């Protein structure tokens, strides 16, 4: 196992009715800015629950944070923050709202000229406004982690800092019942691929991390498709298992002490930045190709994945790997996801632009061995055609 330091101090309130917990989480003398997206929270009762919990607080609101949140939108919140002396942010929404709020929190206390430098220069920021999160879409893990992804002029880029990790997060599976099938699928597959990017590398004998990861993958394989079936549409136990899996997939636990490979995400970000494809729908296209191109470098972990996650016991190692890749693709298809560039009407002629975006963004040595050069990324995209 590799050396690691692990910390995750986000307090989690899990279960039905837990939105009420924000009353005691946010100091009564705080000036709170409630941030949210396009309005789903007004149709499913979440907004009303937040308003009830904040009835004795002083609060303001900022809406319109779009999926794949944009710098220009997020900077508009700074005016309200300055005008009212806001000193606490409450993000109510999916990963985009939580990520966007992290950027707002960091930008509010940024002392340089342009807060975009936080992202492009990967600055070590040491202060941000405190954040609480009410999660409405289990997917990204953003509600308890230190990362965020922000887009400016088609450049979709991540940043991370411990100071933007939410102080608390409310995870109420009941609020996910209003999700469309498309967003349920996106969430399940995003969480699945977060797990894979911290698992499918090379073995360092991290038994706990591996078995935690395999448990998350199997839970998502078992309950993900059920969440789409009419007879299970209102099953809160299924929603609870998906929600907790998504948080656990990217709260730092399974990635501590093991190598990681975020190449699927970094290539996927270029597909979103350039063609505005939903985040998870880029990943379901790229991951199978990463597995195919990585058959040698990821050989042992691919065999372990085949045996332990899919219970494939027959055949040679190479056959097990092929079957595991086929089963992964079938799972994505079952979840209604695209698995090829052609499924989203992209083709060979689009690959040059994606490669040049990767180059512009410095994504030239990806993967657990930093050996995914632009040439390998091209091979991955060609394999995904």
Question: Nearer to ligand NZQ by C-beta: 10 or 186?
Answer: 186
Query: Contact region for ligand NZQ (CB under 6 A) — 35-43, 82-90, 306-314, 334-342?
Result: 35-43
Question: Nearer to ligand NZQ by C-beta: 96 or 209?
Answer: 96
Least Å distance between CB 253 and ligand NZQ?
Answer: 14
Q: Which of 272, 8, 53, 321 is CA-nearest to residue 166?
A: 8
Question: Nearer to ligand NZQ by C-beta: 39 or 347?
Answer: 39
The pattern of x and - marking residues 249 through 278 that bind ligand NZQ according to CB under 6 A reads -x--------------x-------------
Q: Which of 40, 51, 49 is CA-nearest to residue 19?
A: 49
Is residue 165 a contact residue for ligand NZQ (CB under 6 A)?
no
Query: Contact region for ligand NZQ (CB under 6 A) — 34-42, 312-320, 355-363, 364-372?
Result: 34-42
Among 106, 118, 170, 175, binds ligand NZQ (CB under 6 A): 175
Least Å distance between CB 127 and Zn ion?
Answer: 27
134 burial via Cβ count (<10 Å: 0-12, 13-18, 19+): buried
Is residue 190 a contact residue for Zn ion (CB under 5 A)?
yes
Question: Nearer to Zn ion by C-beta: 99 or 190?
Answer: 190
Question: Nearer to Zn ion by C-beta: 190 or 270?
Answer: 190
Is residue 137 a contact residue for ligand NZQ (CB under 6 A)?
yes
Q: By CB under 6 A, what part of segment 300-319 binds ligand NZQ?
A: none
Q: Which of 24, 65, 49, 70 is CA-nearest to residue 167?
A: 24
Least Å distance between CB 363 and Zn ion?
Answer: 15
Q: What is the largest CA-CA distance in the chain?
A: 67
Least Å distance between CB 348 and ligand NZQ?
Answer: 25
Is residue 93 a contact residue for ligand NZQ (CB under 6 A)?
yes
Least Å distance between CB 102 and ligand NZQ?
Answer: 7
Q: Using CB under 6 A, list all residues that contact ligand NZQ.
A: 37-41, 44, 67-68, 93-97, 99, 136-137, 139-142, 145, 147-149, 175-176, 178-179, 183, 186-187, 190, 250, 265, 279
């Amino acid at each position: 196992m590799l050396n690691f330091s692990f910390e995750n101090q986000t307090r989690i309130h899990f279960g039905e009715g837990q939105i009420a917990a924000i009353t005691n989480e946010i100091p009564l003398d705080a000036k709170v800015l409630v941030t949210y997206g396009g309005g789903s929270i007004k149709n499913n009762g979440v907004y009303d629950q937040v308003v009830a919990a904040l009835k004795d607080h002083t609060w303001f609101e900022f809406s319109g944070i779009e999926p794949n949140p944009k710098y220009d939108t997020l900077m508009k919140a700074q005016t309200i923050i300055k005008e009212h002396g806001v000193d606490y942010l409450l993000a109510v929404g999916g990963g985009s709202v939580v990520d966007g709020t992290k950027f707002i929190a960091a930008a509010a206390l940024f002392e340089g000229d342009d807060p975009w430098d936080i992202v492009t220069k990967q600055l070590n920021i040491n202060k941000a406004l405190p954040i609480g999160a009410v999660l409405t879409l289990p997917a990204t893990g953003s509600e308890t982690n230190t990362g965020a992804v922000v887009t400016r002029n088609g450049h979709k880029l991540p940043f991370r800092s411990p100071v933007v990790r939410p102080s608390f997060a409310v995870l109420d599976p009941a609020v996910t019942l209003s999700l469309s099938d498309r967003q349920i699928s996106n969430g399940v597959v995003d969480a699945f691929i977060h797990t894979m990017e911290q698992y499918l590398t090379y073995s360092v004998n991290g038994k706990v991390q591996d078995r935690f990861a395999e448990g998350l993958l199997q839970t998502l394989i078992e309950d993900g498709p059920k969440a789409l079936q009419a007879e299970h549409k209102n099953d809160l136990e299924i929603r609870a298992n998906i929600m907790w899996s998504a948080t656990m997939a990217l709260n730092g636990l399974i990635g501590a002490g093991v190598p990681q490979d975020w190449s699927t995400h970094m290539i996927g970000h270029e597909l979103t930045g350039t063609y505005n494809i939903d985040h998870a729908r880029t990943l379901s296209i790229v991951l199978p190709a990463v597995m195919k191109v990585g058959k040698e470098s990821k050989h042992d972990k691919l065999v372990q994945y085949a045996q332990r996650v899919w219970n494939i016991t027959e055949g040679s190692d190479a056959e097990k790997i092929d079957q595991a890749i086929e089963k992964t693709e079938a799972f994505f298809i079952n979840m209604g996801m695209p698995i090829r560039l052609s499924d989203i009407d992209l083709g060979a002629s689009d690959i040059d632009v994606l490669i040049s975006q990767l180059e512009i963004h410095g994504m030239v040595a990806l993967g657990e061995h930093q050996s995914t050069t632009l040439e390998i990324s091209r091979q991955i995209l060609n394999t995904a055609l």
